[in-house]
Amino acid sequence: MWATLIFLVLGFVLGYFVRGLKANTHSTKVIYKSMPAANTYQQKLLLKSHHQTDSDRIRELNQLNRNQSVFLRLLKQTFTHHEIAIKQTRFIILDRDYMPCAIFEYRDGTQAMKLIDQEDGLPLYLYKGLISSDELKQDYLSIISTQK
């Protein structure tokens, strides 16, 4: 009688232990959502400006500091007929087809400067410590003139 009681308790303990192992193997399974690889130049540009989810877009907006949000507001006032996407604290100007046509980046600094460069065929405007609507209007005119 004692032997059956011991085997019964041992069976419950082993069953509980085995069930715990199976539960751990299923809970560690992680599902990764990845963006498809960009095959063409057009797809690469689209991936540069689009977010996977709305929460990613909101997270990017929340990461902006005070000066970057002021810069974003000036960009929206200057580029009224364009959409503005934010990705990795960069402001990407999108045209009517939601294709990037320019990239703006703002960094805080003590010395004001403006640099112009190219990234993936797009003009990259780097503003450091300079928030000027006049400079943005000049850049707007240069972007509009190259699009036509």
Q: What pLDDT does 16 receive?
A: 79
DSSP 71: H
Stretches in the chain below the pLDDT threshold 70: 22-38, 148
Cβ(105)–Cβ(83) under 8 Å? Answer: no
Residues 3-25: pLDDT tens digits?
888 888 888 788 877 777 766 55
Neighbour-count burial for 59-76, b at 16+ CB within 10 Å, e otherwise: ebeeebeeebeebbebbe
Q: What pLDDT does 13 receive?
A: 80
Q: What pLDDT does 32 receive?
A: 58
Can you list the positions of beta strands (E) in 32-134?
83-87, 90-94, 100-107, 113-119, 122-128
Q: What pLDDT does 27 receive?
A: 52
Q: What pLDDT does 148 receive?
A: 65
Q: What pLDDT does 78 receive?
A: 93
Q: What pLDDT does 75 receive?
A: 93
Q: Compute φ and ψ for 130, nearest 5 degrees.
A: -130, 120
The residues pairing with 68 across neighbouring beta strands, listed in sequence order, are none
Q: What pLDDT does 121 receive?
A: 86
Q: How many CB atoms lie within 10 A of CB 1?
A: 5
